[in-house]
Structure 1
Amino acid sequence: MSNVRSVVLLIMCAIFARNIVCQKSSSNNQGKSTSYKIRLTKAVCINQPYEVAWNVTCRLKLVRDQPSKMLFSVTVDQIDQLYLTFAMYYKYQVTYQPLLMDTTFDVCRTLKKYNSRSKAGTTGLDLTAMFVIGILEKNQPALIKTGCPFRGVIQLDNFIIDETMAPKFLPGGDYRLDMHYYNEKNQTVMYSQVFGSVRAVGITDLSMG
């Protein structure tokens, strides 16, 4: 049974990767149709307290007939170097299993490259990093343009993740996104977990069992 599960996850990861690549090759993802709807259910900060950050907030704001909005906020003295470990998990039966995206990248270096990119595009930049930066830019463009260092209150308000920011196809089911921000001394700045679900539009079953 575990072998069957592994094969299913591998196939779905390949499809997921292909859709990410196709999405990034398109200059405009707005208005694309999807076979699913995303619903966020919870956002939490874990492993508190943090050594170099305080007034930490991670919470979900439910809005009727609109995508759920999140508030992420943290106060720091100054962060010169920032790293992010980003991981996506899919809930298979009762446990969350890694689903393709599990990477660590230098946020400051990536933002610098992203903001100085030429018309040639974003060649050479980590694919997952570009996926994350793209979502951040749609929610908080000023923060992306400013880049490092970060100081004072860092806030992402009315932060959303909807179908326009995701691949054209996603397996139906429950998901968890882990985002661990930390400095060069491996001190946590924020460690958030966002829970949500993907549900098919219509009668098609997109779940992986």
Structure 2
Amino acid sequence: MTEMRGRRVVEPVEQESTASMVAYRIREAIANGDIAPGSQLLEVDYAAQLGVSRGPLREGLQRLTQEGLLVAHRNRGLFVIEMSPENVADIFVAREAIERAAAAQIHDGDSWAAAMALLEVVDTMATAGAQGDVHRVSEADTLFHQVLVEHAHSPRLTRIHQTLLTETRMCIHAMEHTYQFDERRVGEHREIAESFKRDDPILTDRLLVAHMRDAVERLTGDD
């Protein structure tokens, strides 16, 4: 490889940009339900709330548009995506594909380590459920799937999955009246974790498919 002398081919490392921080803050507000699905994002209002200029704000909003969390309507502006039953089903179609691929990667690697990490999250979920803390149960639910994909050690799967988890959190907040805690949620997650412990890829795949389909039914009220 020829060395390129006298010419900078990469830029120096910089701190996280303002646009990145704007995208993170608004992404979290959307995921937590503080900015409701279908809401319009007015630049003047959010620039003032975040204490930033319009330039970094627009760049941050553009990132969220590219992620699919915001949609631009011509002559109207930017809006948070709606959590219709069709959108919910589509989110879980994508999640199913990502998590099944991640599970296959895990079974080709250290499935025992993944199982131990996942069972720890399941225990947290079970404790929260016993205390009647539905919010903590949902947080543990999301964390379980985040940990699962992270153990595939695929940066691309993890990056795509993060957006899908944000949308899933939106689903839960928007439709929480249809998605209350019951013992099945803990049981389904524990079975998935135990399948990694047994290093049984066929069982893991079957359980993930069933779990995703069941989640769609609960979130859309079709069960």
Q: Which has the higher contact order (CA 8 A, sep 6+)?
A: 1
Bigger strand share: 1
The reply to whether TM is greater than 0.5 is no
Bigger helix share: 2
